């Protein structure tokens, strides 16, 4: 069976996926809610006119899940549920059902597309899909050896995703198998993306032999990779249970108690903080209202903790030349960290001004790495083939 390339970053805020030969991208909020088989839909006859990503309603059967054969709302649809769950601080990405649910849902959404009718085998409403997956885990989990268990959960099993009341795909079932799964440490992936192109050729010669620190701020954790001699220094690499989720949750709660406004998810908070116009403003009873006092206080507190991590890392690696802040969390904290650095130590730090580049950095890196792995595997196969006369 033909295998399709998938590079998936299961971020705490959302899933970023690059599929095939760079022919499809998916970005889905990382939110799930347990549901029932029949969900009421207004205008059920118009279901197929709607966007599938707005109404993901699925049943998953997978040996990789503790809770098997459960039914879920996923992404935007889940935000409308009272029982929606987002990953909790302190949890391990590799051990959470939610990580697998999001991963399999993403692949199923790709497999059912009309564009893949010729690629994957279809028998009536059943699609057999095979993927070569590149994904990642926080450095802390890789250092604890959790990547092997995570990989084995996915490999060697068939995972069934059944679309229930989902626009366009209702009644379709996808059997997902993996040709191979590569799990990369997130800090290393960020470095690869900084210095290499999609063929893993060096594009940033200025950086290649520098001593670099990469501080990747995510939703639940922060990874700090120390790069020396073109490699991640395993002994110096560290992972911390410090992300932006708790702060976003605190902002959401304070907005609720102070202004009586209920925000659906942490993602709504991120939008308020990062939007181009009317940043840090919400609508209260139809009036535009500033929440600057709440966001500034809570985010500055978190930025101070992140700055402390930077300072401690730099003290232990005094010959560091530059620190790059990457990830969705650094996007939220950028202005606060810059202000602290200007008034305190003045380290040589940098951010990605291109918001998309920073948020999609991991997915891009996994894509480069899994494409390189696939190319090398193909070359080895060809080298072993007998020469025809």
For the chain, give every domain's residue range. Answer: 4-185
Which of these, 251, 283, 18, 236, lies nearest to 134 by C-alpha position?
18
pLDDT band at 11 (very low <50, low <70, confident <90, very high): confident
For residue 65, give every residue at least 6 positions away whose Cβ sits within 8 Å of its Cβ, in sequence order, or none. 97, 100, 101
Helix runs in 11-120, H state only: 76-79, 97-111
pTM over 0.75? The answer is yes
Lowest mean pLDDT among 23-32, 40-49, 368-377: 40-49
Round to whole Å and give the CA distance between 79 and 86. 10
* C-alpha dihedral, 270 to 75 to 241 to 320, nearest 10°: -60
The yes-or-no verdict on residue 121 having pLDDT over 90 is: yes
Place of tokens 């997902």: 176
pLDDT band at 361 (very low <50, low <70, confident <90, very high): confident
* CATH number at 4-185: 3.30.420.40
Round to whole Å and give the CA distance between 111 and 5. 11
- pLDDT tens digits for range 212-250: 899 988 888 888 888 887 777 777 878 888 889 899 999
Average pLDDT, the chain: 88
- pLDDT tens digits for range 160-183: 999 998 999 999 999 999 999 999
Task: Report the percent of the chain where pLDDT is more than 90.
Answer: 53
Lowest mean pLDDT among 230-244, 294-308, 338-352: 230-244
In angstroms, how far is the first alpha carbon of the chain from the final one? 28
Residue 305 near residue 242 (C-beta atoms within 8 A):
yes
* Token pair belonging to 318: 């005094």
């Amino acid at each position: 069976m033909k295998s399709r390339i998938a590079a998936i970053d299961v971020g705490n805020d959302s899933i970023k996926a690059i599929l095939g030969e760079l022919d499809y991208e998916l970005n889905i909020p990382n939110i799930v809610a347990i549901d029932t088989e029949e969900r009421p839909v207004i205008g059920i006859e118009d279901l197929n006119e709607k966007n599938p990503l707005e109404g993901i309603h699925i049943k998953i059967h997978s040996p990789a899940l503790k809770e098997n054969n459960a039914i879920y709302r996923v992404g935007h649809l889940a935000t409308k549920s009272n029982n929606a769950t987002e990953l909790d601080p302190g949890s391990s990405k590799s051990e959470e059902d939610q990580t697998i649910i999001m991963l399999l849902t993403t692949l199923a959404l790709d497999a059912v597309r009309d564009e893949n009718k010729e690629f994957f085998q279809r028998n009536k409403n059943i699609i057999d899909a095979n993927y070569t997956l590149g994904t990642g885990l926080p450095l802390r989990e890789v250092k604890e050896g959790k990547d092997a268990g995570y990989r084995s959960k996915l490999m060697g099993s068939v995972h069934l995703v059944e679309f229930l009341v989902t626009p366009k795909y209702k009644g379709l079932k996808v059997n997902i198998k993996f040709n191979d799964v590569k799990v990369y440490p997130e800090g290393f992936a960020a470095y690869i993306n900084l210095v290499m192109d999609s063929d893993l050729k060096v594009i940033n010669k200025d950086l290649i032999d520098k001593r670099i620190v990469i501080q990747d701020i995510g939703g639940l954790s922060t990874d700090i990779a120390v790069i020396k001699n073109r490699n991640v220094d395993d002994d110096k690499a560290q992972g911390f249970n410090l992300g932006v989720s708790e702060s976003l949750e605190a902002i959401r709660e304070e907005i609720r108690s102070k202004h009586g406004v209920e925000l659906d998810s942490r993602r709504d908070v991120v939008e308020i903080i990062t939007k181009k116009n009317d940043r840090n403003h919400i609508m209260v009873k139809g009036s535009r209202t500033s929440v600057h006092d709440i966001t500034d206080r809570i985010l500055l507190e978190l930025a101070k903790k992140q700055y402390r991590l930077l300072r401690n890392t730099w003290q232990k690696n005094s010959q560091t030349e530059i620190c790059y802040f990457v990830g969705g969390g650094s996007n939220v904290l950028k202005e606060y960290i810059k202000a602290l650095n200007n008034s305190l130590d003045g380290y040589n730090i940098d951010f990605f001004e291109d918001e998309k580049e920073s948020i999609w950095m991991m997915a891009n890196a996994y894509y480069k790495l899994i494409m390189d792995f696939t190319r090398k595997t193909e070359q080895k196969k060809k080298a072993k083939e007998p020469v025809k006369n």
